[in-house]
């Protein structure tokens, strides 16, 4: 996926809430998806991020790749990582496998604009992201949650965010939301299912039938350590209840 208006707006907002990264990484070489009807909204997002002297048209390059736009938003030097060299990524790696140690703890910010849903080994891909982030670094991700039929291998749910990043990796979940691709529909904040001990089925009634991202931001804490496979929280709650009431 490329960076559309709703994702550009989220990144503009994020840029106002974090220190300026020195080195950032895109998973996949992302393009900037610009449609003429949305130009004013892109420019509004730029103003929100403190970019007063440029219009969105100034940031769209002939090849439509997004490095210049992310730099102007304040994400520092932006690199990309991809499976194939065909689109000119600086780093070539298969996220299905452990990335080379030379990439460990190299990036202050990593952005996944819809790449991990195309990686078969999701657990390894997330572990790779964790290892490539510097302590204190931020990972922002937008992958299909609903409506992306036949798009990638997977669509994702919020329990993956909290169970992996919060409980298995010891990171801070800064936010997690269902983000419709059409701006006429509002984003829906997604709490940690473990707080309820059950799945968040009722929230689905607030979402449109059209395409919806699972968008989240996490910060890697200084003491963050991978602690083993993530477990789905409602099952953990059930097992804990069963253990506390032996027959």
Q: How far is CA 146 from CA 62, 153, 157, 181, 189, in A?
A: 32, 13, 9, 10, 15
pLDDT at 84 over 60: yes
Q: Is residue 228 pLDDT above 90, yes or no?
A: no
- Whether the per-residue pLDDT at 23 is higher than 60: the answer is yes
Q: Cβ(59)–Cβ(33) under 8 Å?
A: no
Alpha-carbon distances of 131 from 135, 162, 221, 226, rounded to whole Å? 9, 18, 12, 9
The CATH superfamily holding the domain 5-244 is Vaccinia Virus protein VP39 (3.40.50.150)
Domain positions in the chain: 5-244
Burial 149-169 (b: 16+ CB within 10 A, else e): eeebebbbbbbbbbbbbbbbb
Averaged pLDDT, 145-162: 93
Cβ–Cβ under 8 Å, residues 194 and 162 = yes
Q: What are phi and psi of 120, to 5 degrees?
A: -65, -45
> Mean per-residue pLDDT for 10-32?
94
Name residue 173's beta-bridge partners: 218
Phi-psi region of 94 (alpha: psi -120 to 50; beta: other; left: phi over 0): beta
CA pair distance 196, 187, nearest whole angstrom: 21
Distance, CA of 16 to CA of 10 (rounded, Å): 10
> What was the pLDDT predicted at 48?
85
């Amino acid at each position: 996926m490329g960076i559309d208006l709703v994702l550009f707006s989220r990144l503009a907002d994020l840029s106002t809430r974090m220190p300026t990264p020195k080195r950032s990484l895109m998973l996949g070489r992302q393009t900037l998806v610009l449609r003429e009807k949305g130009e004013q909204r892109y420019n509004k997002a730029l103003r929100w991020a403190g970019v007063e002297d440029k219009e969105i048209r100034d940031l769209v390059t002939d090849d439509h790749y997004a490095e210049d736009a992310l730099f102007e938003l304040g994400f520092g030097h932006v690199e990309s990582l991809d499976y194939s060299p065909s689109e000119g990524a600086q780093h070539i790696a298969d996220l299905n496998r452990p990335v080379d140690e030379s990439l460990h703890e190299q990036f202050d910010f990593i952005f996944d604009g819809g790449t991990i849903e195309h990686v078969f080994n999701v657990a390894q891909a997330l572990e790779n992201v964790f290892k490539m982030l510097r302590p204190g670094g931020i990972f922002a991700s937008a992958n299909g949650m609903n409506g992306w039929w036949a798009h990638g291998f997977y669509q994702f749910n919020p329990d993956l965010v909290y169970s992996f990043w919060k409980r298995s990796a010891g990171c801070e979940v800064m936010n997690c939301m269902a983000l419709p691709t059409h701006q006429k529909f509002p984003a829906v904040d997604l709490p940690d299912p473990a707080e309820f001990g059950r799945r968040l089925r009722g929230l689905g009634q607030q979402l449109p039938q059209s395409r919806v991202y699972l968008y989240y931001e996490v910060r890697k804490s200084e003491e963050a350590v991978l602690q083993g496979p993530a477990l789905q929280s409602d099952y953990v709650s059930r097992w804990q209840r069963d253990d506390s009431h032996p027959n």
